[in-house]
Amino acid sequence: MESTRSKWLWILASLLILVWTVFPILWIVMLSFKQPGEVGNQKGFFPKDWTWENYRTVFKTDLFTSALVNSIGISVIATFVGVVFATLVAYAIARLEFPGKKLILSFALAIAMFPVVSLVGPLFNLWRDIGLYDTWPGLIIPYISFALPLAIWTLSAFFREIPWEMEQAAQVDGATTWQAFRKVIVPLAAPGVFTAAILTFFFCWNDFVFGISLTSSDQARPVPAALAFFTGASQFEQPTTAICAAAVVVTVPVVVIVLAFQRRIVAGLTSGAVKG
């Protein structure tokens, strides 16, 4: 049915999409390889003299290296704790009969819609009062709380699809409860948990509002916030190329994750939107 002409149209459309999505990323990469002084004199897309200088600059800058450590540490911890909490809730929702299920799902949804900035003022006060301001836990706690809705919804949609009877079948065949759970349910649940972990990590990695509001120093400031305050090697120069080098460093892991787990991420983002 598909005529040759329309086939070519689809191919053209696919190519256009590739250009549109990859182009800005490529632009940041190109900028990161330009000489700091070249910016402003030469306005082309590609660098004239390729250089690693910017990468050396950012890794010599304490602000960036500490921010990178903060971002990795805070995001990993928040992802881990958040996914554990979300798994417990999702298991309960998919498996157990108890009052308040709908309430929990609605509450999570309400938080997903919450304007984060509305909370920043009061949290700023509260954190300063109890000593969480400018600390890792001070960011981890809000990250967990705001990443939970996505994780809970993704996981409970996923867990509902698991055929839980298989566990009982294993028990009938002589496995203990724990064995049945570990050998049958855990392998089935693992991909969903993993998907939720990726999405949660993206969320924490991406945060900016909490990052700039609840931190004030190298101690806890994550990369996105650090980039906004970055001054580069010299206080008197626009650190455009150095910021881009830092941006590339932060983007590489994300691109790798996207390339490796493309299918999982799509499944996670649309789970619940597609039934059956």
Partner 1 sequence: MTAVHSAPAPGQSRAGRAEISDRSRAERRLGLLLSAPAVLVMLLVTAYPLINALYLSLFSYRITAPDDKRFVGLANYWTALSDPLFWQDVFTTFFITFVTVAVELVIGFGLAMVMHRALFARRTVRTAILLPYGIVTVISAFAWRYAFDLQSGFVNSWFGLGDYAWFSGRWSSLFVIILSEIWKTTPFVSLLLLAGLAQVPRDLGEAATVDGATAWQRLRRVTIPNMKAAILVAVLFRTLDAWRIFDNVFIMTAGQQKTETLSFLTYRQTITRTAIGLGDAVGVLLFLSVVLIAFVFIRGFRVDLSQVRGDR
Scan residues 189-228 and list those touching partner 1 (CB under 8 A): 202-203, 205-206, 208-209, 212-213, 223-224, 227-228
Q: How far apart are CA 112 and CA 110, in angstroms?
A: 5
Q: According to the binding rule CB under 8 A, does residue 77 interact with partner 1?
A: no
Q: How far apart are CA 151 and CA 111, in angstroms?
A: 12
Q: According to the binding rule CB under 8 A, does residue 266 interact with partner 1?
A: yes
Q: How far apart are CA 184 and CA 199, in angstroms?
A: 25
Find out whether 210 and 117 touch, Cβ atoms under 8 Å. no
With CB under 8 A as the contact rule, the residue among 4, 40, 130, 178 that binds partner 1 is 40
Q: According to the binding rule CB under 8 A, does residue 72 interact with partner 1?
A: no
- 193 HSE (CA, 13 A, CB side): 19
Site for partner 1 in 8-37 (CB under 8 A): 10-11, 13-14, 17-18, 20-22, 24-25, 27-28, 31
Q: According to the binding rule CB under 8 A, does residue 47 interact with partner 1?
A: no
Q: Distance of CA 211 to CAs 99, 113, 128, Å?
A: 36, 19, 15
Q: According to the binding rule CB under 8 A, does residue 236 interact with partner 1?
A: no
Q: How far apart are CA 193 and CA 231, in angstroms?
A: 39
Site for partner 1 in 135-174 (CB under 8 A): 141-142, 144-146, 148-150, 152-154, 156-157, 160, 164-165
What 3-state DSSP class applies to 45?
Answer: coil
Binding piece for partner 1, criterion CB under 8 A, among 47-55, 60-68, 119-127, 182-190: 119-127
With CB under 8 A as the contact rule, the residue among 3, 96, 172, 235 that binds partner 1 is 96
